[in-house]
A and B are shown apart, each in its own frame.
Chain A
């Protein structure tokens, strides 16, 4: 059972880290896109 526990530990930590790392990347990219879009919209409004 110990071996199963170790496998569960690696799989679990791997999934958590992978999920959050992807979240970091996607959030960064989407934030950049959204801010660029908002800046463009503000510029268009000002014009």
Chain B
């Protein structure tokens, strides 16, 4: 296009804009237009301004929404930039952004995040579907080969109850923080290091704290490589870290099939309130181990868990609303979550030390730290710490025993809390 024709085109465009503007002013000043409900041009502009996000941010709570958008962006950064639990922190972060858009009402009644939340979290469905997928991905072989390591998964749940008591104590001493017993139970379950269990329990007992609890649980699970090693090293001697454990025996398919049925029966007999979580976990595992429904097992391991993860993450993110998240209670939850993880790790290691003294076969105390679920990351951390002590120490499979028993243990703990607090 030549310079002359370009100039001509720009002039035509400006003239068109001016014409449309004049028509708009004329229309806006007509009484007929006023009767349609928009009043005058200035009131139309005013209404347009009132429907913008910029106006929403200047209203009450607008600053809080901006802060929460910043928090959500930090979560997205941690997921993308640092690779911290990206599968959950990314949708949670984005859900947080969406629910804090002023005037959009995405997380309010009728909004799509609210619809997903009501359908999947209020009913407790999503955590159960996730557990099904986790069951289909879990190999209980190391636990069956060395069942006594299940006790380490139990010891690590001590963190849950320490945080529960901690929540009650800080409610009494810090003004502005007032956790009920149900809130304390929901906060304590962060120590189970099991996201779906934490979401399941807190959606039942303290829906208002769900956002903070889920963010704390997943953030600390992502920080396991930073939180656990110093505690493991502080509680063990060089000689203990050097202990080489006996290789695990192979486990037959029939044993694995029977295990899932035994766990479910035990749960049905002793603690039916934990049956939804344990049942979903064991169904997924049975589908995998039976070997006759590979299509179902693969769907649970891939498509199902992926779809549910997207919806779970977004709907948990929708609970990152400024009015509930920006309070001293959130700081309390983050602090107690750290306490729960640390105490859980320490109790697992201490019980493993004791078992090493009592049992005939040597037990490397490091594997006790894997009792705080966080499958399989904490087992990997145990293995790495063992390898740093001695290249001939291979703890991965030994740590998987307490690791998967931690999943069962935290589900049982959630069942107990649900039965006693609801």
- Interface of A with B (CB < 8 Å)? 1-2, 4-6, 8-9, 11-13, 15-24, 26-28, 30-31, 34-35, 38
Contacts and interface: CB of A to CB of B under 8 A. Distances in A.
A16 to B, nearest CB: 5
A34 B254 contact: yes
Interface in B251-297: 251-252, 254-255, 258-259, 262-263, 266-267, 270-271
Contact of A12 (B168, B181, B413): B413
B254 A38 contact: yes
Contact of B147 (A6, A12, A28): A28
Nearest 4 interchain pairs by C-beta: A9-B161, A20-B154, A27-B147, A5-B168
Contact of B270 (A18, A30, A34): A18
B161 A13 contact: yes
A26 B160 contact: no
Contacts of A12: 157, 160-161, 164, 413, 416-417, 420
The B interface, classified by DSSP as helix, strand, loop or mixed, is helix
26 contacts: A1-B168, A2-B165, A4-B181, A5-B164, A6-B165, A8-B161, A8-B164, A9-B165, A11-B420, A12-B157, A16-B157, A16-B413, A16-B416, A18-B270, A19-B267, A20-B151, A20-B408, A20-B412, A23-B262, A24-B148, A26-B266, A27-B150, A30-B259, A30-B262, A31-B255, A35-B252
A12 B252 CA distance: 33
A32 B262 CA distance: 14
Given A2-B172, A15-B415, A20-B405, 5 more contacts: A4-B181, A19-B154, A20-B408, A23-B408, A34-B254
Interface in B152-176: 153-154, 157-158, 160-162, 164-165, 168-169, 171-172
Nearest to A21: B151
Contacts of A6: 165
A43 B228 CA distance: 48
Contacts of A8: 161, 164, 181, 185, 417, 420-421
B337 interface: no
Contacts of B168: 1-2, 5
B395 to A, nearest CB: 20
A1 B421 CA distance: 12
B414 to A, nearest CB: 10
A15 B255 CA distance: 25
B29 to A, nearest CB: 66
Nearest to A10: B161
A31 B158 CA distance: 28
Contacts of B420: 8, 11-12
B266 A13 contact: no
B136 interface: no
A1 to B, nearest CB: 5
A7 to B, nearest CB: 8
B153 to A, nearest CB: 6
B338 interface: no
Contacts of B413: 12, 15-16
Nearest to B161: A9
